[in-house]
Structure 1
Amino acid sequence: MADARNINNDNDDNNDAVRQEAFENRVTEVAEGVMQANLPRLAQEVESRVLGVVDAMMTSRFEELKELIEGSKSRSKERRCTYKDFMACHPTTYDGKIDPIECQRWISNIEAVFIRSRCDKEDQVMFATGLLTHQAKDWWDAHSKEVGEDRLQAMTWQEFKGPFMRYHCPQSAIDKIQEDFLRLRQKNESVNEIANNFMDKMKFCGELVTTERMKISRFYGVLKAEVREFITPSKCETLEELIDLARDREIEIKRQEERGEKRPSEKGASFSPSKKGKFQDPGRKGKSKGGITPCKTCGKLHTGECLLGKKGCFKCGKEGHSSYQCPDNPKTCFNCFEKGHIKSECPKLQQGSKKEDKKQEGSRAKGRMYQITSEEAKSQPNVVSGVKEESSNTSKAEGAQDRGKAPL
């Protein structure tokens, strides 16, 4: 009985070992399956964690490098712009002349020096006011006392520029510039000189020339007639294009003068300058009797397009006949410029001549004298004799008294 029990116990131990081994094998198989199924996910998690650690390390290194760069910049900025550095950029002085154009130029020059010298904002007013002389220096001394020392130390450039511009650029001076801008005309100046003058004044005339087309039209009216002759302002898109065309035209005029050539307007002039000056009305300079100005191309009086240099008739534009043989050419009076009659048949001239004849007749009637003898006077009942003799005797007596002698 004891042996049987031992055998049964051994069998139970073997069965437990087998089951335990089977269980372990099953667990191993399940674990391997789970690991194989989750291996990509685990690899991705490991990779993300590694990348996170690397990113954190790079970020810390980048911040350290950024701090080093900023530290170097701050150390380079420790040296401020000195007055010597400011003056090394050659800023201009200002004497306080009441001229908006000169004042604006000085402001622009100083602001450009601020940029070049890297002047600190707290030093701009102090450095700039050191360039004021004469009346400008007197104004700044008086203004500094009004402002006060505390406010003066904290004054910015914009706070300085406001009262400075109001004093040195009064509205009356700006109005004068605008008036000169409207009356500006080229005389003996070159195109470059008149263009610079135009641009300087235009800075204060923004309300008069609000568009580029208005600028072109205004500058075209400033140019001399000989410069405008072959320039079409409508073809220019910018003011710079018009100025370039005017420069080219000025160069061509100088070349013509050097070669001794005459411009078409000078060739077509058939009247004498001396005679024109003799009979010209000063109040209507450059205009004819009919209000027509001479053509800039040929110098003659006509309306419409100038046909100088074109073939054919100047009146109708057709070829085969000249202008004085044109069948479509009505008679035009050169006195009143009305069609239908010529100058010799002009009714205005005829009326004027009649009035002059009447005036001449009236003056002749007033100054007419008749001479008759004494015998004819006696025979005429309407003639009073003795008046001439009395007047002659009176004149003789007066003459004798003047000479201290008694009349005979």
Structure 2
Amino acid sequence: MINEGVTAALAARDATRNGDDSHTSGTGVRRPVQVARECTYPDFLKCQPLNFKGTEGVVGLTQWFEKMESVYSISNCTVACQVKFAMCTLQGNALTWWNSHVKTTTPEAAHAMPWRTLKKMMTNKYCPRGEIKKLEFEMWNLKVKGNDVVAYSQRFQELALMCDRMFPEEIDQVEKYVGGLPDTIHGSVMATKPKTMQDAIEFATELMDKKINTWAERQADNKRKSDDTTRNNQNQQPNKRQNTGRAYAAGNGDRRPYGGPKPLCSKCNYHHEGPCAPKCHKCNRFGHVSRDCRSPPNVNTGANQRACFECGAGAQGQFQSDGPKIEEQQQPG
């Protein structure tokens, strides 16, 4: 009996030592254990759960599910209160649907429903199979529109939540995501071999931002060069117009019509009275004779003179062979 008593005492001592040391002090006195406070509805609302109206579609319902589960974790909501608190966020058509369901049973039985069962009921109600197929078709054909990689990434993630059976592993999602990127960055993203969706999205977004910034800088540089060229042309145009105007003025001044009283001579085509002025046969100008001409001799002029004396008519048809030579005529008074 003594041995049995000693053995029992030793076993009790070992049990005390092997217990939760976090609740014992250094003196061996057991500290009181703090019991976690049960989550109340105000605590639940402080975590800002989303409302659901039933018109948000498949993506909206999925986001409501994710946000609700996050609130459960933060607020330490008990399993017994999950459905009861979640149903307080329903509005519009969704609230009408839930009230109809409660009438078929009792409020106690409806609130005792497991969260997983509620998710399945709401998925069957607001995510019919036909809608899921439409989302899967959109997922297969989803590509970047223009250069908006941010919108593409957001829509891809939304669709991936409801089309999870299309991608058994995350690497499958990554391959589909990279396949929808534009050719300008597709090869660069593929070369990095991203392992997760987060890596692929971050690298694609950063790379596209660099491409857009480079393109914007190039456009600004081209516009600046174009503006400089236009400005230089505008500065040069007034000078050209001024010179042209002077040239026209000079030309018009040389060709002003004769307004004097002297008649036009049909022989020399000049306005004068009396016989025509002598003409030089070296330079073919009126007003002086050949012996007084200071211009160099012209070969063509000499040939014309010979032709004139042989045929009896001048090259210009201004004198005859039997008449007096023009160079011997005197300048009219």
Place the TM-score, normalised by the shorter chain, in its bin: 0.5 to 0.7
In structure 2, the partner of 1:129 is: 87
Q: Which of 192, 196, 201 pairs up with 2:150?
A: 192
Q: Is the 8 A contact 2:62 2:161 kept in 1?
A: no
Q: Distance in 2 between matches of 1:69 and 1:155?
A: 39
In structure 2, the partner of 1:85 is: 43
In structure 2, the partner of 1:298 is: none
Q: CA deviation at 1:189?
A: 5.7
Q: Is the 8 A contact 2:47 2:75 kept in 1?
A: yes
Q: Is the 8 A contact 1:216 1:233 kept in 2?
A: no
The aligned runs of 1:8-19 (5 Å cut-off) are none
Q: Which runs of 5+ in 2 are unaligned?
A: 221-333
Q: CA deviation at 1:177?
A: 0.9
Q: Distance in 1 between matches of 2:206 and 2:104?
A: 55
Q: Which amino acid aligns with 1:159?
A: T
Q: Which of 120, 124, 127 pairs up with 1:169?
A: 127
Q: Is the 8 A contact 1:181 1:198 kept in 2?
A: yes
Q: Report the secondary structure of 1:174's partner residue.
A: helix
In structure 2, the partner of 1:304 is: none
Q: How many residues align?
A: 213
Q: Which moved more, 1:93-102 or 1:123-132?
A: 93-102
Q: Which amino acid aligns with 1:95?
A: K
Q: Distance in 1 between matches of 2:16 and 2:175?
A: 64
Q: CA deviation at 1:206?
A: 3.1
Moved >4 Å (runs of 4+): 48-54, 59-71
The aligned runs of 1:3-402 (5 Å cut-off) are 52=7, 55-56=10-11, 58-59=13-14, 72-73=33-34, 76-77=35-36, 79-97=37-55, 99-188=57-146, 190-228=148-186, 230-232=188-190, 235-260=193-218
Q: Distance in 2 between matches of 1:165 and 1:64?
A: 44
Name the % identity.
Answer: 21
Q: Which amino acid aligns with 1:122?
A: A
Q: Which runs of 5+ in 1 are unaligned?
A: 1-45, 263-408
Q: CA deviation at 1:84?
A: 0.8
Q: Is the 8 A contact 1:220 1:233 kept in 2?
A: no
Q: Is the 8 A contact 2:83 2:112 kept in 1?
A: no
Q: CA deviation at 1:151?
A: 2.1
Q: Distance in 1 between matches of 2:8 and 2:109?
A: 55
Q: Distance in 2 between matches of 1:81 and 1:239?
A: 35
Instruction: Calculate the aligned-residue CA RMSD, in Å.
Output: 3.6
In structure 1, the partner of 2:314 is: none
Q: Is the 8 A contact 2:53 2:92 kept in 1?
A: yes
Q: Is the 8 A contact 1:231 1:246 kept in 2?
A: yes
TM-score when scaled to structure 2?
A: 0.54
Q: Is the 8 A contact 1:94 1:106 kept in 2?
A: yes
Q: Which amino acid aligns with 1:152?
A: A
CA deviations on 1:312-353 (whole Å, 9 max, x unpaired) are xxxxxxxxxxxxxxxxxxxxxxxxxxxxxxxxxxxxxxxxxx
Over 3 Å counting, the alpha-carbon distance change for 1:244 and 1:121 in structure 2 is closer
Q: Report the secondary structure of 1:127's partner residue.
A: helix
TM-score when scaled to structure 1?
A: 0.45
Q: CA deviation at 1:210?
A: 3.4
Q: Is the 8 A contact 1:99 1:173 kept in 2?
A: no
Over 3 Å counting, the alpha-carbon distance change for 1:195 and 1:140 in structure 2 is same
Q: CA deviation at 1:234?
A: 7.8
Q: Report the secondary structure of 2:62's partner residue.
A: helix
Q: Which amino acid aligns with 1:80?
A: E
Q: Is the 8 A contact 1:220 1:228 kept in 2?
A: yes
Q: Is the 8 A contact 2:171 2:195 kept in 1?
A: yes
Q: Is the 8 A contact 2:62 2:162 kept in 1?
A: no
Q: Distance in 2 between matches of 1:124 and 1:92?
A: 14
CA deviations on 1:51-94 (whole Å, 9 max, x unpaired) are 85762462475679979979744xx35x5321111111111111
Q: Distance in 2 between matches of 1:98 and 1:157?
A: 20
Over 3 Å counting, the alpha-carbon distance change for 1:261 and 1:217 in structure 2 is farther
